[in-house]
Structure 1
Amino acid sequence: MNNVLMAAAIMSFFAAFLHGCIVLGGPEWYRFFGAGEGMAQMAEQGRWYPHIVTAGIATILAIWGVYALSAAGFIIPLPLTKWVLAGITTVYLARGIFGIVAINMVHHPYFIELREQQTFMWVSSLICTVVGLTHAVGLYQTWSKLN
C-alpha cells in the first residue's frame, strides 16, 4: 500500500467534507471559503444553484479520493486509474499554481472580487499545490504498477 496516496486520498476526502459543510453552513460559509458574494447572495435567496455547484464539487473531490485509494492499493483497481490520477494531479497543481495568477490577470467580476481576498487565494493555492504535489509523488511511486 502506498502511504503517500493514502494521504492524498484523505486530503481529497477532507476537501469534499468541507464542501459539504459549506452547503449546510449557508451563506456565511460561502463567503468565508471564498465562493464569492454572488454565491452567498444566491444562498441567502434560497436558490439551489450554489448548493448544487458546491455539492457537485464535493462529489468530484470524493471520487478523486476514491481514485487515490485505488492507486494506493487500498481498494480494488478502478478503470484508467493511472490516467485519471494524472488528471487529478494536474488539476490540483494548476489550481494551486495558477490561482494567484488568474485573479490578477483575468478581468471577470469573480476574479476581481477575489483580488480583495488575497489571503484566501494564497492559502487555498498553497493547499492545492501541496495536495497536487502529494498526488504527484504518489503517482510517481506507483506509475509502473497502475493500469
Structure 2
Amino acid sequence: MNQTIHTLNPWLLAGMVSSMIAGLLHLGCVAFGASWYRFLGAGEDMARMVAAGRLLPHVITLAVALILFGWAAYALAAAGQPLPLPRIRWVVLAITAIYFLRGGAGFLIDAPQSGRSQAFWWWSSSICLAIGALHAIGLRQVWHLL
C-alpha cells in the first residue's frame, strides 16, 4: 500500500489564515456595527455612516471581505491544496505585491488628513507587510510547482 503524505506549504498556509482572519474581522464590522469599525480603525466617518444606518460602509466592507476570502483560497491552492483556480502562480504573485504595496504605502500616508490614526496606519501597514512576506516566502518555495 502506497501512502504518500502530502504536506502543504506552511508559509502559504499562514498567509491563507491571515487573509481569512482579516476577512472575518471585516465581517465582524458588518455584524457588530460602528464600534467595530472604530476599534479596527476604519475611521470616524465610516463609523458615523454606519451609526446613521447608511449601507455604503457595509457594501465596501463586504467587498473587501470577499476579496480577502478569495485571496485566502488562492494562497491555499498555491500551498498545495488542489483547487480549480486559474493562473494560481500569477494571481498569488499579484496578491503578494498588493500586500507589499499596501504595507509600504501606509507608512507614507498623512494620518490626520486620512481620518485614521497614525497607530492604525503603522499597525495595519506592518500587518500587510508581514502577510506579504508570508506569501513571498511561500511562493518562492512552490514557484516551480505551480
Is TM > 0.5 for Structure 1 vs Structure 2?
A: yes
Aligned Cα root-mean-square deviation (Å):
1.4
1:145 is aligned with what amino acid?
L
Distance in 2 (CA, whole Å) between partners of 1:120 and 1:38 is 15
Query: Shift of the alpha carbon at 1:77?
Result: 4.7
State the TM-score, normalizing by the size of structure 2: 0.90
1:8 and 2:15 are equivalent in the alignment: yes
Query: Shift of the alpha carbon at 1:78?
Result: 1.5
| Greater Rg by CA | 2
Structure ranking higher in helix proportion: 1
Query: Shift of the alpha carbon at 1:76?
Result: 2.3
1:74 is aligned with what amino acid?
Q
State the TM-score, normalizing by the size of structure 1: 0.89
3-state DSSP class of the match of 2:98?
helix
Alignment length (residue pairs): 139
Query: Shift of the alpha carbon at 1:75?
Result: 3.0
Aligned sequence identity (%): 44
Equivalent in the alignment of 2:85 = 78
Question: Residues 46 and 133 from structure 1, CA distance in 2 versus in 1: closer, same or farther, beyond 3 angstroms?
Answer: same
3-state DSSP class of the match of 1:79?
coil
Distance in 1 (CA, whole Å) between partners of 2:26 and 2:82 is 24
Where in structure 1 are there 5+ consecutive unaligned residues?
none
Query: For 1:10-29, what aligned pairs fall within 5 Å after superposition?
Result: 10-29=17-36
